[in-house]
């Protein structure tokens, strides 16, 4: 059994159409801890000790957030700045996150084909996520490919629900340790591991 920590950052959940579907029911799922950063730290004063405790107690970490300006909302960056301390998360004595798995679960308004080197965004999602990836690597964690839903601007309600279900299925599969690490790292998006999921077709 693995314990999954979902670190969720959304500054305007009231207006959300997609992310709100993703988090529906997360709180009550077994072995998953849903942690709403903007609800917990509206003043950006992240409680470092509490966050470190949470990280220690979980095996899989998820950074779940909308993909704003090719990155995360600012509170997640604040979280990274403050929580991943030198001498704890990285550096000579930074051994406490070693071996944990971590990935981004994101939603983008634009379509899949925009995120290619030939597309209008000029870079792939994975390239944009480089700072997150390298952060994880510096902390000796296993950085997994992201879970992505593209094209949320034009998505139908059914599509949103379908992606949300795939996401929750993925989290459940992770708690029961369904995939080997090499399987997890072999895909472009983690979506591919969930059979029912429409693969980034939007």
Binding site for other proteins (CB under 8 A): 43, 45, 48, 81-87, 91-92
Output 84 or 155, the one with its CB closest to other proteins.
84
Q: Name every residue whose Cβ is closer than 8 Å to that of residue 75 and which is 6 or more positions away in sequence.
A: 9, 11, 37, 38, 41, 44, 46
**Cα separation, 133 vs 144, whole angstroms:** 8
Work out how close the CB of 45 gets to other proteins at its nearest, in angstroms, rounded to a whole number.
5
> Which alpha helices (H) appear in the chain, and where do they start and end?
19-23, 37-40, 48-56, 74-83, 125-128, 130-138, 157-175, 181-186
Output 43 or 117, the one with its CB closest to other proteins.
43
Output 22 or 132, the one with its CB closest to other proteins.
132
Work out how close the CB of 80 gets to other proteins at its nearest, in angstroms, rounded to a whole number.
8
Work out how close the CB of 48 gets to other proteins at its nearest, in angstroms, rounded to a whole number.
7
Output 82 or 161, the one with its CB closest to other proteins.
82
Output 49 or 117, the one with its CB closest to other proteins.
49
Work out how close the CB of 154 gets to other proteins at its nearest, in angstroms, rounded to a whole number.
30
Contact (Cβ atoms closer than 8 angstroms) between residue 81 and residue 48: no
CB atoms within 10 A of CB 17: 12
CB atoms within 10 A of CB 120: 10
How far does the chain reach from its first CA to its final CA, in angstroms?
33
Work out how close the CB of 35 gets to other proteins at its nearest, in angstroms, rounded to a whole number.
18
């Amino acid at each position: 059994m693995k314990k999954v920590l979902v670190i969720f950052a959304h500054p305007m959940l009231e207006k959300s159409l997609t992310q709100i579907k993703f988090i529906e029911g997360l709180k009550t799922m077994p072995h998953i801890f849903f942690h709403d950063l903007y609800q917990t730290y509206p003043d950006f004063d992240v409680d470092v000790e509490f966050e470190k405790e949470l990280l220690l107690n979980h095996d899989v970490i998820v950074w779940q957030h909308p993909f704003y300006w090719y990155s995360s909302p600012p509170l997640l960056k604040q979280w990274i700045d403050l929580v991943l301390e030198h001498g704890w998360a990285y550096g000579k004595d930074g051994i406490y996150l070693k071996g944990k798995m971590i990935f981004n679960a994101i939603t983008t308004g634009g379509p899949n084909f925009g995120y290619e080197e030939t597309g209008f965004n000029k870079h792939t999602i994975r390239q944009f996520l480089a700072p997150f990836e390298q952060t994880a690597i510096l902390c000796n964690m296993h950085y997994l490919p992201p879970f992505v839903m593209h094209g949320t601007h034009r998505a139908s309600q059914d599509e949103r629900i379908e992606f949300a279900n795939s996401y929750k299925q993925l989290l459940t599969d992770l708690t029961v340790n369904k995939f080997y690490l090499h399987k997890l790292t072999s895909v472009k998006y983690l979506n591919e591991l969930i059979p029912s999921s429409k693969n980034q077709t939007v």
